[in-house]
């Protein structure tokens, strides 16, 4: 790791608002673009990520570079920015030139969903899962259209300890619609508790840091925005294949207001549904008349392991999908 760097004072640069005007960049609705113009807020987002000085940082969707500036001021060892929209290349190259000689800044034009994070962070130290989190961070003001899809992908990588999590318990500081952020931290009995709540909490310590008013963005979205941090747990609540856990939760929360026995039965073929649905909940010691949002994380864990037992007893059950033969992929996942 390089020697510790001083905090960087960037040379005088046009404001983000001026750059957007200069390059005539309009936010594209199809990419769910909303630009953060207030440096105090971008500084606060980076502060929420914790200590990043001399660390490795990947910023997701930097746009014109508001958060990028705040990251650079904290002197990371290496900064990777992954931006899908090539229109922002001139503004990002301006920042790259401004920090040249102090910070290694890589600009990647492409979709973060296909970007190889493990390769991008090459050179960062790999720490054991039970050690302190590595000096590796993901930070980003996510487009609403991909935010849920992306965090589910990353939760799967956390569970499998690959991608950015091959380095250890890599932290994330990301933005979501306020309602989605509230779902992620929702406890048992909360009106917002859903599949995403349980999935986030099984593998990570999730913290809702603060709310950004919609008026801070250009253009102004119809909702406020949540800043949420994720630090993978040393000891996840479950040690089963991610797809198996996701499948159980998807079926259980498919009928959120109905008794959980209805969701449990959907895990099994119709001719075995009633018997195996009851058996699942009996093994897990969860009353059939409990509603999904009334089930604790620990009770869900018992349901996952009970499902695993039933799959081992009944060959082929694990492959059954109540939605039919259509293959499940990440794009189909719903909150």
pLDDT in tens, 255-275: 888 999 999 999 999 999 999
What mean pLDDT comes out for the span 46-59? 97
| CA angle (253, 213, 23) in 5-degree steps | 110
Percent of the chain with pLDDT over 90: 74
pLDDT in tens, 229-258: 999 999 999 999 999 999 999 999 998 889
Partners of 231 in the beta sheet?
205
Please give the Cα distance from 120 to 79 (Å, whole number). Answer: 10
| H helix intervals, the chain | 16-22, 39-48, 66-73, 89-98, 117-120, 144-160, 178-185, 195-203, 242-253, 260-265, 273-284, 297-313
pLDDT in tens, 303-320: 999 999 999 999 999 999
Reply yes or no on whether the pLDDT at 164 is more than 90: yes
Residue 32 banded pLDDT, cuts 50, 70, 90: low
More confident residue, 96 or 143: 96
- pLDDT at position 109, please? 95
Residue 334 banded pLDDT, cuts 50, 70, 90: very low
Where in the chain are the domains? 16-232, 242-332
Please give the Cα distance from 322 to 316 (Å, whole number). Answer: 13
Q: Which whole-number Å values give the CA distances from 325 to 32, 268, 328, in the listed order?
A: 32, 14, 9
Per the prediction, the chain carries an average pLDDT of 89
The class level of CATH for 16-232 reads: alpha beta
Please give the Cα distance from 194 to 289 (Å, whole number). Answer: 17
Classified as helix, coil or strand, 277 is: helix
- pLDDT at position 7, please? 63
Q: Which whole-number Å values give the CA distances from 333 to 51, 184, 228, 262, in the listed order?
A: 33, 15, 20, 20
228's tokens: 């949420």
- pLDDT at position 325, please? 53
Residue 8 banded pLDDT, cuts 50, 70, 90: low
pLDDT in tens, 64-93: 899 999 999 999 999 999 999 998 998 899
Q: Which CATH superfamily is domain 242-332 in?
A: rRNA adenine dimethylase, C-terminal domain (1.10.8.100)
Partners of 174 in the beta sheet?
140, 228
pLDDT in tens, 115-137: 999 999 999 999 999 999 999 99
| Least confident window among 99-108, 224-233, 313-322, 326-335 | 326-335
Give which of 174, 240, 162 is closest to 206, Cα–Cα.
174
Percent of the chain with pLDDT over 70: 87
- pLDDT at position 20, please? 61
Length of the chain: 335
- pLDDT at position 217, please? 83
Reply yes or no on whether the pLDDT at 38 is more than 90: no
Q: Find out whether 185 and 197 touch, Cβ atoms under 8 Å.
A: yes
- pLDDT at position 123, please? 95
Please give the Cα distance from 323 to 325 (Å, whole number). Answer: 7
Buried b / exposed e along 226-252 (16+ C-beta atoms within 10 A): bbbbbbbeeebebebebeebbbbbbbb
- pLDDT at position 15, please? 65
- Sign of the Cα torsion 268, 269, 270, 274 reads negative
Reply yes or no on whether the pLDDT at 327 is more than 50: no
What mean pLDDT comes out for the span 146-156? 95
Enumerate residues 6+ apart whose C-beta is below 8 A from 26.
none
Please give the Cα distance from 195 to 287 (Å, whole number). Answer: 19
Backbone angles phi, psi at 34, to 5 degrees: -140, 125
Residue 14 banded pLDDT, cuts 50, 70, 90: low
């Amino acid at each position: 790791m390089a020697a510790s760097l001083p905090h960087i004072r960037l040379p005088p640069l046009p404001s983000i608002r001026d750059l957007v005007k200069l390059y005539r960049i309009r936010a594209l609705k199809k990419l769910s673009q909303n630009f953060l113009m207030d440096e105090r807020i971008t500084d606060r987002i980076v502060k929420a990520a914790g200590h990043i000085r001399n660390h490795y940082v990947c910023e997701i969707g930097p746009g014109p570079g508001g958060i990028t500036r705040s990251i650079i001021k904290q002197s990371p060892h290496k900064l990777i920015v992954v931006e899908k929209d090539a229109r922002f290349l001139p503004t990002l190259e301006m920042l790259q030139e401004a920090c040249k000689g102090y910070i290694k800044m890589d600009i990647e034009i492409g979709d973060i969903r296909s970007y190889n994070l493990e390769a991008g962070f090459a050179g960062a130290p790999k720490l054991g899962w039970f050690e302190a989190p590595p000096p590796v961070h993901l930070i980003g003001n996510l487009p609403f259209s991909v935010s849920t899809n992306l965090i589910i992908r990353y939760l799967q990588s956390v569970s499998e300890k690959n991608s950015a999590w091959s380095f250890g318990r890599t932290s994330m500081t990301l933005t979501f619609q306020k309602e989605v952020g509230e779902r992620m931290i929702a406890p048992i009995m909360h009106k917002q508790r859903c599949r995403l709540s349980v999935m986030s909490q099984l593998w990570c310590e999730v913290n809702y840091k603060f709310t950004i008013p919609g008026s801070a963005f250009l253009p102004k979205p119809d909702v406020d925005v949540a800043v949420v941090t994720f630090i993978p747990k040393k000891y996840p609540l479950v040690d089963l294949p991610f797809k198996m856990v996701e499948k159980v939760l998807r079926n259980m929360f498919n009928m959120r207001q109905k008794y959980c026995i209805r969701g449990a039965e959907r895990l099994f073929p119709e001719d075995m549904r009633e018997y195996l649905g009851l058996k699942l909940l009996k093994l897990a010691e969860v009353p059939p008349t409990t509603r999904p949002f009334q089930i604790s994380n620990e009770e869900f864990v018992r349901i996952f392991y009970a499902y695993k037992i039933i799959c081992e007893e009944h060959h082929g059950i694990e492959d059954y999908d109540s939605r039919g033969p259509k293959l499940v992929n990440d794009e189909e996942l719903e909150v």
